[in-house]
Structure 1
């Protein structure tokens, strides 16, 4: 399952972000192709009853029948065939079989990319050192969204979530700032689930009176915390970089409904590829 999700997310960032520009460039190029075809046919296609040399002379102004002019004698008047009109070229391209096929392909690609991103897996970027050493600034990881629909989060899992109201009230100076940042996701590790009794003492984490293995953390915590009991429907999340993380020991518990997904693989940079430290 994890390998399937990883295979889906690797091309996702490039496909999803580059699609509009790709579509745009394709549409721009199509009229050019149409114009090029018209110009090529103008010089290389022999008209019925007209020798090819006469055709070259006619087009280059060296002989042949004179080009009809408008009543005002303007040499730049359009001959009425619309070949030099960009709008006409664009309209012809949209009516062509190639355009219909391209539009179908781009639409299907966009639909697949959006479906994967919103319902299955999405890429995420690490902006801070709060999860060091598991993640470093600039790391990119795959976040899957299926598990949260099947079961609740478990201890040790790294989750991406929307910040709770308590976090926004603490960090932002005004309601307007809070609303602007409401969708900026955070990433932390689940250390306790509903019903767990949590204590941090002498830098060590205890859950239900049992000391936890925290080999993933940067160092022991410099603070004491608890005892607290995690309420129903809530989680306690902490950063692996205990002393440099604005997390649950400061702003409290995280509602389960705020969770976006579970981090499953780090895919960038490639030399750190894998799921070390992720449950």
Structure 2
């Protein structure tokens, strides 16, 4: 009768016990995550809320957008793998307002250095060619006086800016030196930007060119959009802010514009 061959484990099972994480190690892990998140949200991406109607229909009041801070930044030797490019016509850009370094604005790039620009009845002519801009709000004969034809705004730069409404004093003085044969000439190192909602946008027509170094980045997409009153931007007191935060909590589901979630900006 053949013998039965049995097998037997020659080493016992090893049971490993996980060592509990110390409070110091937990704190270090949290700090690492926060540091990485802070770096990403400071140098790579940044979130902004749209507070006004100057970019309607492209951007609505209450849109929260994620801004790419890398692609339009000056190239860095420490990150050669990162894609960089210069500002192009049509780019929507976020930038510090000239003369007000603490104020962010978002507008569309209309002209880059060397471009010749003028408007006639609200239509942009770029280097002599009328532009097709279906997203742009134009003067209209309706009941809104804001939409009525305005000679300075809609035939820019045909009308001198002397003592004209919202034109800054510095731009009123500087503007004539950049006009040749009825065209505004964009100088080196700067771009000319306007809001898409042309009849309601205080843009380059009123305060001038955007220096290249003022440009922070370009918005990529809307990550959340909430129906926000147009006058909310003027309610800056602590009470008003707390009241609106409570309003958001109550109406976050029925007043969120769900159709705009992850809406690409272009």
Q: 1:115, CA displacement in angstroms?
A: 1.1
The equivalent position to 2:187 in structure 1, one of 231, 250, 257, is: 231
3-state SS in 2 of match to 1:113: helix
Check if 1:110 corresponds to 2:34.
yes
Check if 1:164 corresponds to 2:98.
yes
The equivalent position to 2:259 in structure 1, one of 227, 247, 271, is: 271
Give 4+ residue runs of structure 1 displaced > 2 Å after superposition.
Answer: 218-222, 273-277
Q: 1:219, CA displacement in angstroms?
A: 2.5
CA distance in structure 2 between the aligned counterparts of 1:264 and 1:197, rounded to whole angstroms: 28
The match for 2:197 is 241
3-state SS in 1 of match to 2:72: helix
The equivalent position to 2:213 in structure 1, one of 246, 257, 260, is: 257
Q: 1:273, CA displacement in angstroms?
A: 2.7
CA distance in structure 1 between the aligned counterparts of 2:66 and 2:187, rounded to whole angstroms: 29
TM-score using structure 2 length: 0.60
- Structure 2 stretches of 5 or more lacking a match? 1-19, 74-83, 140-148, 158-182, 226-257
Post-superposition Cα deviations, 1:45-68, rounded to whole Å, max 9, x if no partner, equal xxxxxxxxxxxxxxxxxxxxxxxx
Q: 1:276, CA displacement in angstroms?
A: 4.8
Q: 1:187, CA displacement in angstroms?
A: 0.6
Q: 1:225, CA displacement in angstroms?
A: 0.9
Q: How many pairs were matched up?
A: 168
Check if 1:184 corresponds to 2:88.
no
Q: 1:195, CA displacement in angstroms?
A: 0.4
3-state SS in 2 of match to 1:249: helix
CA distance in structure 1 between the aligned counterparts of 2:110 and 2:221, rounded to whole angstroms: 19
- Assess if the C-alpha contact under 8 Å between 2:44 and 2:68 holds in 1: yes
The match for 1:37 is none
Check if 1:148 corresponds to 2:72.
yes
The match for 2:239 is none
The match for 2:63 is 139
Post-superposition Cα deviations, 1:184-224, rounded to whole Å, max 9, x if no partner, equal 21111101101000010122001000111211112247421
Post-superposition Cα deviations, 1:145-190, rounded to whole Å, max 9, x if no partner, equal 111132221111111101112xx4xxxxxxxxxxxxx322111110
- 1:25-36 → structure 2 map (5 Å cutoff): none
| Larger RCO, structure (CA 8 Å, separation 6 or more) | 2
- Assess if the C-alpha contact under 8 Å between 1:134 and 1:276 holds in 2: no
The equivalent position to 1:197 in structure 2, one of 116, 121, 145, is: 116
3-state SS in 1 of match to 2:47: strand
Decide which structure has greater helix share.
1
3-state SS in 2 of match to 1:119: helix
CA distance in structure 2 between the aligned counterparts of 1:141 and 1:153, rounded to whole angstroms: 19
CA distance in structure 1 between the aligned counterparts of 2:264 and 2:137, rounded to whole angstroms: 14
Please give the root-mean-square deviation of Cα atoms over the aligned residues, in Å. 1.7
CA distance in structure 2 between the aligned counterparts of 1:276 and 1:207, rounded to whole angstroms: 26
CA distance in structure 1 between the aligned counterparts of 2:137 and 2:208, rounded to whole angstroms: 21
Q: 1:277, CA displacement in angstroms?
A: 5.0
